[in-house]
Each structure stands twice: as C-alpha cells, then as structure tokens.
A and B are shown apart, each in its own frame.
Chain A
C-alpha cells in the first residue's frame, strides 16, 4: 500500500510517496522505500523527482541554511549534483539540473522567507520518524575562523598588519636619518683610539 507524507509551510509543500520496507521489519505506516516526491514552491509549477533528487536537495539546502545562520552565505551542490543553491543578490538561487540532455537547468530564486519555509519543510521531513530513510548529510559543526573570515570587512581584517608594517617602515626611515656615531678620537695622539693592531 502506497504511503504519503506531506510537509507544508506558507510557500512550500513537499510530498513524499513510498512504501514500507517490510523485509527490514518496518511497520505498515513507515516509509522505507521512496517511490517519488514532489515539491511545490509558491509561484512555480510543481516539481517531481526521485529519492536521489530529494537526497541532493537536502544535501544542498541544509548546509546552506547552516552557513546562512552564521551570516556567511556559501554555495552548495557540486557540478554533477542534481541540485545546487547559491546566494544571488541578497536572495537564494536554487538550481535544479535535469539528467535529460539538452535540458537547461531550472533556476528558482527564493527570498529569505521562502528559503526559511523550504528549510523548515526539509527539517520536518528529515526528522520525521515515519520516514525511515537514511539521508546522507554532512554533520553540523561550528564554523572555523577560516570559514568565517569574510564576515569581517576587508579593511578591518587587514588593518592590524597594515598598521604594523607602516610603523616599522616609518621608524626605520626615521632611524636612518640619525647620523652614524663617529669613533672617539684620542686628543693627545690625535688619532682614533680604536686603531687597528699592528
């Protein structure tokens, strides 16, 4: 018997269809095998896909949301992945690539609210206990200094090293203006005291 799970937010609707994997001992209300899924985004026609598309959607959007939460937007989705997402002029461009040859990718631009809706739907889906599907997602982890580097404006980042180098240069040029000390002269012999040994 085919089972259906729906996840809805204001501008987003995800529907997963599947069957219980009875060979894995799942009960009849659990989806263990995905037979298809559809995604409806407000203002766009419904999109349909298979489990691999759903996996690619999760693998791109969930880490994207994680980075956005730390205010460091970053593109996700490899060139050969069916789904990619990247920041685009203050919005978020979702790119859905078809396996069919000569089919251009479908680009959907989401605003912040639409992206939040999509993220919430995907969260509900991946944490749904009725869906016993092991989605592969990168682990949630704190971002390193390197990841967060560009959160600081360039000027603020380079200010300290610039001031250091400038101080060194200025002090070196000022010191070079000072006269070099002459060797002390022995008044009686009228010759330098530090004469070379004979």
Chain B
C-alpha cells in the first residue's frame, strides 16, 4: 500500500480533529500518566518546534469542537500529522491493554470490570473537558450508545498501532463528513 497515497498537505476536518482528540482522551483514560506520556513522546519524536511546551500541545487539542473551551483556529496539516504520530506511538505502548479489552478469550466478568474502569475514567475526562450541551458528548455519556462508541474508539486505536497504523488512521480521519 502506497504510504504517500493521502496528500501530505490535506488538513483534517473538524470531525477528524474531534475523533483524533477523543482517541487521545481514550489514551489518557487507559493510562493515568497518558497526558505526561503525550508531552514526553512529543519531545522524544522531535515535535518541539510544533509544540514547544505542554500548553501549546493542549491548545492544539482544544481545536476539537466538542471541547468546553474550543478554539476556532484551524490546525495545520503538520500539526495534525504530529498529533496522529503521537497517538500512533501511544496506541503502540497501550496495545497489550487495548488487545485485552477487545479479546473475547478473557474471563467475561474480569473484562467487564476492565471496561467499567475504562469507561468510568473516560466519563470523568469527558465531563471535565467536553461541552455537555453538544450532541456528540451526550452520546458518549449515554450508557448504551456511549459503550458502543467507546468500543469503536478502542478498536480504532488497536488498528492504529504499529507500523502501518499511522497511514491507516490518517486516511480514516480524512473521511468525508456525514
């Protein structure tokens, strides 16, 4: 599969940024030090020019239209690419956890507890940072639809991990709006 098949300079739509930030939020829900890991990975991967400090990284994530304090400024393609690379690296680190959540071979009660813990943390992060008046946020907090959406996000993260994950995820985030 050609790696350069998606033009490099295509900016992400608002919906793409929304999904990217939600997946980063999932990474934080899975790992209590996820926020720190993002800053560390950003430095490690050489993105200090784009995100000189944690506040700048935070500000870019606030382009998500579902945020409480959303920023209208559009993200540059190189900034979204850097965020996708950070997510790709986080998904790689968290892959054993993502895999366990998705596996049907795990004892059902134990896996239910893991999902409850993850969804509980995600709910706290969503309530703290996202605008509860937005339909997308209400769907995430809904007991039925939220469970389905969080599984979709975990599955998407698992398919975004590893070497081919970056290009696959980027193509997916550039999907047309429906």
Contact = CB atoms under 8 A, between A and B. Distances in A.
Contact of B103 (A71, A113, A139, A141): A113
A62 interface: yes
Interface of A: 10, 62, 65-66, 68-71, 91, 111-114, 116-117, 119-120, 122-124, 126-127, 137-145, 147-149, 151-152
A68 B163 contact: no
A41 B92 CA distance: 21
Contacts of A148: 175-176, 178
B162 interface: yes
B82 to A, nearest CB: 19
B125 interface: no
Interface of B: 1-2, 5-6, 95, 98-100, 102-105, 152, 155-156, 158-165, 167-169, 171-172, 174-178
Contacts, number: 99
Interface centre among B152, B169, B175, B176 (most CB of A within 10 A): B175
B126 to A, nearest CB: 19
A66 to B, nearest CB: 6
Contacts of B161: 116, 120
Contacts of B164: 62, 119, 122-123, 126-127
Given A111-B105, A112-B155, 12 more contacts: A68-B159, A69-B169, A112-B103, A116-B158, A124-B163, A126-B1, A140-B1, A141-B171, A144-B176, A147-B175, A148-B178, A152-B178
